[in-house]
């Protein structure tokens, strides 16, 4: 039987979208959200769970939107990746204010601001109990921070990818318009792909599927959800190999 006090996961990767960090703002960072998020990260850190964070940049810049205005897509993507670094610094500061050791590592080098992303160094930080914030996306245009999250979760040997969203999981229909909608507790990767359920882009999902990386889709803004999920409570929806 599982020990209820013992966390289910030893090492997690938490994917936080830029949009979530923006809170109710159209642009930029809502520092109240940053404070809420880092408080939840502290709760899992206190359980001894090693935590890596991948942060998005949609609250600042999205390459696709730049391309839609007739500008160069790859340039727009680099602008988006730079936006993730701004978000990462806010999270790093928030974590440090709570006394948590944190390191920002970026896939796009900017030595004055953050460490370069080096896998082995990131692993070492995690082993030493530092929260690692992974910024700069994958460092490549035409990718997303969800794909970066899948890639880093796999290469850093995380036990799970926790995808924070604004809803508390995947429903059979939109619960806002359909009161009979029910939450799906578990889904197979293929089911998500075949039914076109929008959890993350297909590149990210396929990477998780090919490497058996489970994904938990959950609402991070509900206080205590992260620690509950890490302790193995049924929070949100789990996407994994079908049973």
Residues that bind ligand UDP (rule: CB under 6 A) add up to a total of 22
**In sequence order, what are the beta bridge partners of 164?**
218
Q: Within its chain, how far is the Cα of 206 from the centroid?
A: 16
- When binding is defined by CB under 6 A, the residue of 34, 44, 53, 81 that contacts ligand UDP is 81
Distance between CA atoms of residues 105 and 113, nearest Å: 9
Interacting residues of 40 by C-beta distance below 8 A, sequence separation 6+: 220, 223, 224, 225, 226, 227
User: Is 152 an interacting residue with respect to ligand UDP (CB under 6 A)?
Assistant: no
Q: Cβ closer to ligand UDP: 215 or 231? A: 215
* 24-32, 34-42, 122-130, 141-149 -> range binding ligand UDP (CB under 6 A): 141-149
Q: Cβ closer to ligand UDP: 42 or 62? A: 62
Nearest residue relative to ligand UDP (C-beta): 56
Question: How do beta strands 50-55 and 102-106 pair?
Answer: unpaired
State the sign of the Cα–Cα–Cα–Cα dihedral 184, 190, 196, 199: positive
User: Is 80 an interacting residue with respect to ligand UDP (CB under 6 A)?
Assistant: yes
> How far apart are CB 236 and ligand UDP at their closest, in Å?
17
Q: Cβ closer to ligand UDP: 122 or 231? A: 122
Residues 111-140 that bind ligand UDP (CB under 6 A): 137-138, 140
> How far apart are CB 241 and ligand UDP at their closest, in Å?
25
> How far apart are CB 29 and ligand UDP at their closest, in Å?
12
**In sequence order, what are the beta bridge partners of 105?**
115, 134
Distance between CA atoms of residues 215 and 240, nearest Å: 7
Distance between CA atoms of residues 241 and 210, nearest Å: 10
Residues 162-191 that bind ligand UDP (CB under 6 A): none
Q: Torsions phi, psi of 25, nearest 5?
A: -80, 150
> How far apart are CB 112 and ligand UDP at their closest, in Å?
21
Residues 4-23 that bind ligand UDP (CB under 6 A): 17-19
Residues 32-61 that bind ligand UDP (CB under 6 A): 56-58
Q: How far is CA 127 from CA 48, 56, 158, 239, in A?
A: 10, 24, 12, 26
User: Is 144 an interacting residue with respect to ligand UDP (CB under 6 A)?
Assistant: yes
Q: Report the largest interatomic distance among the alpha carbons of the chain, rounded to a whole angstrom.
A: 58
Binding-site ranges for ligand UDP (CB under 6 A):
17-19, 56-58, 62-64, 76-77, 80-81, 137-138, 140-141, 143-146, 148
């Amino acid at each position: 039987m599982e020990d209820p006090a013992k966390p289910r996961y030893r090492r997690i990767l938490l994917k936080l979208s830029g949009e979530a960090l923006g809170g109710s703002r159209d642009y930029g960072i809502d520092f109240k959200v940053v404070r809420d998020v880092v408080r939840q990260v502290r709760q899992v850190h206190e359980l001894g769970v090693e935590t890596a964070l991948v942060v998005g940049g949609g609250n600042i810049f999205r390459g696709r939107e730049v391309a839609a205005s007739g500008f160069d897509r790859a340039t727009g993507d680099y602008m988006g990746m730079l936006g993730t670094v701004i978000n990462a610094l806010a999270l790093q500061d928030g974590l440090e204010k709570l006394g948590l050791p944190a390191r920002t590592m970026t896939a796009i080098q900017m030595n004055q601001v953050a460490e370069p992303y080096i896998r082995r160094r990131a692993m070492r930080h995690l082993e030493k109990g530092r929260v690692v914030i992974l910024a700069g996306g994958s460092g490549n245009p035409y990718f997303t921070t969800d794909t970066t999250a899948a890639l880093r979760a796999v290469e850093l040997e995380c036990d799970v990818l926790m995808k924070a969203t604004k809803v508390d999981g995947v429903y059979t229909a939109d619960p806002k318009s359909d009161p009979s909608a029910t939450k799906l507790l578990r889904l197979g990767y293929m089911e998500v792909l075949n039914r076109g359920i929008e959890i993350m882009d297909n590149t990210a999902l396929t990477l998780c599927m090919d490497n058996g990386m489970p994904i938990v889709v959950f609402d991070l803004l509900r206080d205590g959800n992260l620690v509950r999920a890490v302790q193995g409570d049924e929070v949100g929806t789990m996407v994994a190999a079908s049973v």
